[in-house]
Amino acid sequence: ADGYYECAMNECVYSTSDYSDMVFLQSYSFNKDVYAQFNSTVGKFVGLTEFGVKQAEYWNKNQAIMQQLKADVDTICRPNAQSADSSVRDKA
């Protein structure tokens, strides 16, 4: 399969049961190489390649995108983690 592969992936990472260390990550990759990533702890996009640096600068200037991504740790990560964790604990 010749061609190109682009992917955007969202992750919620945590290790404590109170979710106090919850981090929301949004990564963008091209042909399996990550070129830019948003990290809710850092609070902005970071470019990991020359192209990624340009994209990160562009995205970081968009206040609507930045506010949404910063809120995603509370609106997406914590509720889903609580739901998933309670499902697992209830089955144990």
What does pTM read for this prediction? 0.84
> pLDDT tens digits for 68-78?
999 999 999 99
In Å, how far from its chain's centre is CA 10?
Answer: 4
Is residue 44 within 8 Å of residue 56, measured between CB atoms? yes
Q: Which fold has domain 6-82?
A: 3.10.320
> pLDDT tens digits for 42-57?
999 999 999 999 999 9
Q: How far apart (Å, rounded) are the C-alpha atoms in residues 90 and 64?
A: 38
